[in-house]
């Protein structure tokens, strides 16, 4: 499959001419979801779920379908009956030619005073895991972890320990829209050979629009 990094936490995956997009939120490109046969949304926060972007994709192509949590599905189901699929932890399904597993239930804690929303992660073809906004460890090995780099709910030590616990061959940076170039340089150094180590995983950062064959 080919992975294209898009803005912030959004990625586009293409295989055999079919396209799936994960988390086209408000920090991603305006057309992030367009042209996708399937869209997966991990949770309701606007940097992962932008209703306008999803409606544009659904209206542009009557074959486009969305898999997501009830909190997101409820915003779209009435307008697009039969095209919004509700999923939760433990579910499996096939979308745009990809085999998908659902892992996780809750968003990471931002602060004890802020209520936690639901959040799921998606494993695709047993090879790529997008955890959304959580440090969910899937109950299966994955080669490629889409690593949430920077958020109000995480810190660097947790990021490192999370990669070590999941044990992927590659950690690909996502959820990085709040970092400037100085921040990327610091994180890149610490997640590379000069840092504490990722348990053998290779850290990779793609700029929006860059592609990688997995």
Domain membership flag for residue 12: yes
Domain membership flag for residue 214: no
Average pLDDT, the chain: 97
pLDDT at 20: 98
Strand positions, DSSP E, the chain = 2-5, 11-15, 18-22, 38-40, 65-68, 84-86, 92-95, 98-103, 121-124, 128-130, 144-148, 170-174, 202-204, 211-213
Q: State how many domains the chain has.
A: 1
Residue span of the structural domain in which 116 resides = 2-206
Domain membership flag for residue 152: yes
Domain membership flag for residue 72: yes
Domain harbouring 54, CATH code: 3.60.15.10
Domain membership flag for residue 212: no
pLDDT tens, position by position, 22-76? 999 999 999 999 999 999 999 999 999 999 999 999 999 999 999 999 999 999 9
Mean pLDDT of 119-144: 98
pLDDT tens, position by position, 163-208? 999 999 999 999 999 999 999 999 999 999 999 999 999 999 999 9
Q: Contacts for 113-117 with beta carbons within 8 Å, 24 or more apart?
A: 117/43, 117/44, 117/45, 117/71
Domain membership flag for residue 213: no
Residues in the chain: 214
User: In the structure, what pLDDT confidence band is assigned to residue 160 with cuts at 50, 70 and 90?
Assistant: very high
Domain membership flag for residue 166: yes
Domain membership flag for residue 211: no
Rounded to whole angstroms, the maximal C-alpha distance in the chain is 52
Q: Report the predicted TM-score, pTM, of the whole model to 2 decimal places.
A: 0.97
Please state, in angstroms and rounded to a whole number, the distance separating the CA atoms of residues 44 and 31.
Answer: 19
């Amino acid at each position: 499959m080919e992975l294209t990094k898009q803005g912030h936490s959004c990625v586009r995956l293409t295989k055999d001419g079919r396209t799936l997009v994960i988390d086209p939120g408000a920090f991603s490109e305006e057309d992030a979801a367009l042209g996708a046969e399937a869209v997966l949304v991990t949770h309701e926060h606007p940097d992962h779920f932008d209703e306008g972007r999803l409606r544009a994709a659904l209206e542009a192509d009557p074959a486009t379908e969305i898999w997501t949590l009830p909190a997101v599905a409820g915003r779209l189901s009435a307008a697009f009956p039969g095209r919004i699929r509700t999923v939760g932890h433990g579910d499996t399904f096939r979308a745009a030619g990809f085999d998908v597993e659902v892992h996780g239930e809750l968003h990471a804690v931002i602060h004890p005073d802020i209520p936690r929303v639901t959040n799921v992660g998606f494993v695709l073809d047993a090879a790529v895991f997008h955890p959304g906004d959580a440090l969910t460890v899937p109950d299966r090995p994955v080669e490629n972890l889409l690593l949430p780099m920077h958020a109000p709910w995480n810190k660097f030590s947790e990021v490192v320990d999370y990669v070590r616990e999941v044990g992927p061959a590659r950690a690909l940076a996502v959820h990085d829209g709040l970092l400037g170039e100085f921040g990327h340089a610091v994180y890149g150094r610490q997640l590379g050979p000069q840092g504490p180590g990722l348990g053998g995983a290779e850290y990779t950062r793609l700029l929006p629009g860059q592609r990688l064959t997995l």
